[in-house]
Structure 1
């Protein structure tokens, strides 16, 4: 994930209002983070949340969001930079940028040349998680597959797991690369045929998915 700072207010306005407007993913900060920040700085925070990148992107495209900080995933951040939806950082106000991991910032620079718009806040990868006891019970005597992705993409397994619940992220930028990986394709393929195969696979397992949530 990449935090994006878009400070547009003048210093006079900032002193008068002392409000920081943030749009972030739900469940991404501790319960006491905002209260502690407001107590320490005297700055009030207007904090709104969203559940997927598509919601954030639509709001940015609509314009006049009023947000100072938004937190897109890197794949969407590139679209937003190219579309002029993000304001450049004033690095003179961010002296601690020099303490950020240089390797991660170099990766960020591939999306945001010169690191002009984005600051890395957190990063991670998408994988599959299971409740071992429930999965084994749902499979009966069937042994667990060597490739855990089989549990989701192979109808032989996922059809048996619907009874205990199967969920996936509500984001094409997460689900399609996983399907491509399972099919032995490049997760970042630019071949339309690969995406047709991935889409067909996802349509086949769709009836067994009980929850879409990011």
Structure 2
């Protein structure tokens, strides 16, 4: 068992099927729950080109654009107007859009105390560097 994000697991599943390597890759959320993760498009207060940033965010949030982005990345989006534009296999995939019962078990990660954040950062740095 390996942990991963829904879109990354979907990519691995597709690659495995294309390769015909016989690996059965599946995605599941433990019945006990799991952390929920969201991506955000933000504009910093001191952005050098705020109008361009806003134009980009407006573009990305267009239903057709975000539907295509979700199809490519295999990640959900929260734009309800995009849902009808998405392929049914993505729109109805519970690995991408979990049902209400599963969503009720998901929880946001809480920030740790600064001392523990430092420990987590050190451990993660060791994992990334292989030391």
TM-score when scaled to structure 1?
A: 0.22
Q: Which has the larger radius of gyration?
A: 1
Which structure's relative contact order is higher, taking Cα pairs within 8 Å and 6+ residues apart?
2
TM-score when scaled to structure 2?
A: 0.32
Q: Looking at secondary structure, tell me which structure has more strand per residue.
A: 1
